[in-house]
Structure 1
Amino acid sequence: MIYIIGTGLHSYKDLSLRSIEILKKANKIYFENYTSIQQVPISLLQEYLNKPIIICNRDEIESEDFFFLEASNSLIVILVAGSPMFATTHIGLLIKGKEMNIPVEIIHNASILNVYGCLGLYSYHHGKTVSIPYFTQEWKPRSFFDNILKNIEAGLHTLCLLDIKVEEERFMTVNEALSQILSLENEIVNENYKIFAVCRFGSPNQVIKYDKIKNLIKEDFGKPLHSLVIPGKMDTIEKEMVGELFK
């Protein structure tokens, strides 16, 4: 059997009691660390359980046979930062489990999608989530920005996930993302547009600010992970809630 367990947004202490019980019984535990990172080192969970946790990379996750060979006669756990099914990466494991008749169960946890309510925005009032990649000299895609504009046109809010390069220990900052957005030169999302900067969401030292881009781009938001929420049209209640939260 395989369990895919979300670790939440901050540390192993965000795991559910059921998750801890399963981890204690597991024959082998893996931690996938390329779609996100944990704010608190996963080694602390290893110490708590007194069991080794194997860090696995993208190639290992995507070569699904690797896990199912072991799961045919063992209890395997794959830990994922945040919530397991937020990214589409792990759907392949569900499909493979059905093909091989090996049970795969998901245990969910909090993800960055929980941010909307904390901003005073309706959680059902958002459009397509976008990922902002690092630009290079030769490659400056604007498809993510086109989706932001489509969301705004439809009156919807946009969650922007910022690029991470875990193996290089590079994590895009609010400042880098805003610099790239401004470089695309648009009359709607310009330096006077007010957005939310969200940093280390779900941790005790989270930072959330709502301001014009020209002001946010000058600030130091500290350690990763960073993300943005670009609001579309806020209704009266949303405006009131945002106004109260970010006076």
Structure 2
Amino acid sequence: MLFFVGLGLYDERDISVKGLDTVRSADVVYAEFYTSKLMGTSIERLERLYGREIEILSRSEIEVDPSWLDDAREKNVALLVGGDPMISTTHLDLRLRAIEMGIDTRVIHASNIASAVPGITGLQNYRFGRSATVPFPHIARGKRIVSSTPYDAVKDNLIRDLHTLLYLDIQEGRLMSINEAAALLIEVAEGRGDSGFASSLAVGIARAGSEDICVRAGMLSDLRTYSFGPPLHVMVIPGRLHFMEAKALRILAGAPEELLSGYVL
């Protein structure tokens, strides 16, 4: 059996009781932390609480050569991942590979940022459109390339009065901040001649699931300089607001009253 065990949002204590029982009873325990990271803990703390040795898998061992799946033919194997296991298509691909190999699979769900954001901000979960990731710029043929995909996702959702959850890039040794993401979105918007986009309502969330969570709403341009503190960070660009959503952003995220007035449905 191959178990996909979600670890939740922030630290080693976010795992469910069912997940903890699964880890402790597994024959082999692996983990990957390139799709999501638990910023409030360490491998040592995970091993100490779970009472198990954990082998960390690289990105290539997950996506290119998951030969470790063979272990699950004869043993109970637990793969630990941040958040909820099936939010990432990477893990769905692994599950389908395992099933095609004749390996039984089971998913132990956990809290994740997509389900937590509505509760953190007060924005209603059914009013979120498609999400997107803000990637770091890259160099191609000597030219700096900034992806327009997140900007396009936001604009498409705004046409429908839907909110957009923006994940921020995670790379080896680099974790994108809300400040960087806001600046990149504005750069793309200005390149499209959309100078008003910088004045859009935006919400920044840092360290979801921790005791020192930071939630701040304001103009996107203001989020470029606001100090959100350590990662992980995500952003939301809201569409038009139900009056309860507007009230929630004012109380929970410090949104300016004058900014909200133009967003209420």
Q: Is the 8 A contact 2:31 2:56 kept in 1?
A: yes
Mapped partners of 1:188, 1:115: distance in 2: 28
Mapped partners of 1:98, 1:66: distance in 2: 14
Runs of 4+ residues over 3 Å off in structure 1? 186-189
Mapped partners of 1:89, 1:235: distance in 2: 35
Matched, 1:200 2:203: no
Letter of the 1:190 counterpart: F
Mapped partners of 2:137, 2:196: distance in 1: 18
Mapped partners of 2:224, 2:63: distance in 1: 37
The count of corresponding residues between Structure 1 and Structure 2 is 245
Letter of the 2:31 counterpart: F
Equivalent residue for 1:9?
A: 9
Worse overlay, 183-192 or 43-52? 183-192
Q: Deviations over 1:138-178 (max 9, x none)?
A: 3222122111100011100000001111x2x1111111111
Mapped partners of 1:140, 1:77: distance in 2: 37
Which of 226, 229, 234 is the equivalent residue of 2:236? 229
1:23-38 to 2 correspondence within 5 Å?
A: 23-38=23-38
Question: CA 1:189–1:206 in 2, change beyond 3 Å: closer, same or farther?
Answer: farther
Equivalent residue for 1:98?
A: 99
Equivalent residue for 2:179?
A: 175
Q: Deviations over 1:65-119 (max 9, x none)?
A: 5133111111110000011111111111221232222111010101111211321
- Structure in which a larger fraction of residues adopt helix: 2
Equivalent residue for 2:51?
A: 50
Equivalent residue for 2:246?
A: 239
Q: CA deviation at 1:29?
A: 0.7
Mapped partners of 1:11, 1:77: distance in 2: 18
Equivalent residue for 1:134?
A: 136
Letter of the 1:235 counterpart: H
Mapped partners of 1:171, 1:217: distance in 2: 16
Counterpart secondary structure, 1:190: helix
Equivalent residue for 2:119?
A: 117
Identity of paired residues, percent?
30
What is the root-mean-square deviation of aligned Cα atoms in Å? 1.6
Q: CA deviation at 1:213?
A: 2.0
Q: Is the 8 A contact 1:12 1:42 kept in 2?
A: no
Letter of the 2:147 counterpart: P
Mapped partners of 1:49, 1:176: distance in 2: 36
Q: CA deviation at 1:63?
A: 4.0
What 5-or-longer segments of structure 2 have no aligned partner? Answer: 255-265
Equivalent residue for 1:85?
A: 86
Worse overlay, 113-122 or 180-189? 180-189
Mapped partners of 1:142, 1:12: distance in 2: 36
Letter of the 1:41 counterpart: S
Mapped partners of 2:215, 2:75: distance in 1: 43
Mapped partners of 1:223, 1:46: distance in 2: 24
Mapped partners of 1:189, 1:108: distance in 2: 40
Mapped partners of 1:35, 1:187: distance in 2: 32
Mapped partners of 2:153, 2:87: distance in 1: 19
Equivalent residue for 1:146?
A: 152
Letter of the 2:202 counterpart: I
Mapped partners of 2:234, 2:224: distance in 1: 13
Q: CA deviation at 1:236?
A: 2.3
Question: CA 1:163–1:111 in 2, change beyond 3 Å: closer, same or farther?
Answer: same
Q: Is the 8 A contact 1:64 1:93 kept in 2?
A: no
Question: CA 1:226–1:246 in 2, change beyond 3 Å: closer, same or farther?
Answer: closer
Q: Is the 8 A contact 2:133 2:167 kept in 1?
A: yes
- Taking structure 1 as the reference length, the TM-score comes to 0.93
